[in-house]
Amino acid sequence: MIPPVPTPVFPAMTAVATAPASSANLGPGFDTLALALDIRCRVTAQPADRWCIEHVGDERPTSGEDDLVLTAARHTAGTERPLALVVENGIPMGRGLGSSAAAATAAAAAAASVAGIHMGHDALLPLVASLEGHPDNAAAAVYGGLVAVGPGGTVARLELHPSLRPLLAVPDHGLPTTRARAALPETVSRAVAARSVARTVMLVEGLRLADRALLEEASGDELHERPRRHLHPEAEVLIAAAKRAGALHACWSGAGPAVLALVDRAETERVAEVMSRMLGGAGRVLTPPVAPVGVEVVH
């Protein structure tokens, strides 16, 4: 259920909010773990005669994301006083980088600010998770950093070793999340469930310590990566190449098709070069820092 917000009071002002990209799952942490990445979506909101939305920049969404952004803003600001929204989303869309969660988070925060409402993280998270459907991406967009989301919606901030740097191999083509979800089995065996729990424990501790042996134990996800590999077989090739080049961990980013590698600072250039070569000109490698802060109201 989408949580209620206080009755808005509209001062005459413009508000700007930003929220980061995110890489969810991180291998075995399906629908639970996410890492915020400092590529941001920026939303400007101001009172207007009618509800409207404008997109600027290279990344342009489908009409469905327009609806998501408007719904998030309407819920926080109230429907009786319309807003004009300008969205500048620097996050590659349809690539498994949480662009929808970031856009909804930034829109809700900007609209709340225009309405004169202080909307804390604990109120933003259930709203964005309910609208966007991915609580892990929503938690990273709202809180920043490395996060885990419990079945009741509680968010835990986890520790990421400071030596680890994210690299993203982002193909030119997208993979719709609905198609990726449809590829997943309805049930898994007890053995798969047990191995997945073990991998997730190894992953969390391996990320805390930057321990290569633990992170190797975390690889080989059977919950979502293996069932989806026929949709994007290049992901498996990219993951293997990144690890051979020195990445401590590599996995699908969310539902893909982007691949995330976590690399020691000294190995960043070499792994990035290998991933770029594997993309073969049909994509790009991004090197965003971790976003330690999630949503921010800039002014």
User: What was the pLDDT predicted at 12?
Assistant: 44
User: What was the pLDDT predicted at 274?
Assistant: 96
User: What was the pLDDT predicted at 288?
Assistant: 97
Spatial distance between the Cα atoms of 6 and 27, rounded to a whole number of angstroms: 38
pLDDT one digit per residue (tens) for the chain, 299 residues: 555 555 444 454 899 999 999 999 999 999 999 999 999 999 999 999 999 999 987 777 765 567 889 999 999 988 788 999 999 999 999 899 999 999 999 999 999 999 888 889 999 999 999 998 889 999 999 999 999 999 999 999 999 999 999 999 999 988 887 888 888 888 999 999 999 999 999 999 999 999 999 999 999 999 999 989 888 889 999 999 999 999 999 999 998 899 999 999 899 999 999 999 999 999 999 999 999 999 999 87
DSSP labels, the chain: -PPP-PPP---S--EEEEEEEEEESTTT-TTTEEEEEEEEEEEEEEE-SS-EEEEESS----HHHHHHHHHHHHHHH-TTS-EEEEEEE-SPTTSSS-HHHHHHHHHHHHHHHHTT----HHHHHHHHHHHHS-HHHHHHHHH-SEEEE-TTS-EEEE---TTEEEEEEEESS---HHHHHHTS-S---HHHHHHHHHHHHHHHHHHHHT-HHHHHHT-S-TTTHHHHTTT-THHHHHHHHHHHTT-SEEEE-TTSS-EEEEEEGGGHHHHHHHHHHHHTTSEEEE-PPB-SS--EE--
Q: What is the CA radius of gyration of the chain?
A: 19
- Among 271, 255, 265, 293, which residue's Cα sits nearest to residue 133? 255
- Quote the tokens at residue 295: 């949503």
Torsion, CA 54, CA 60, CA 62, CA 67, rounded to 10: -30
State the pTM of this model: 0.92
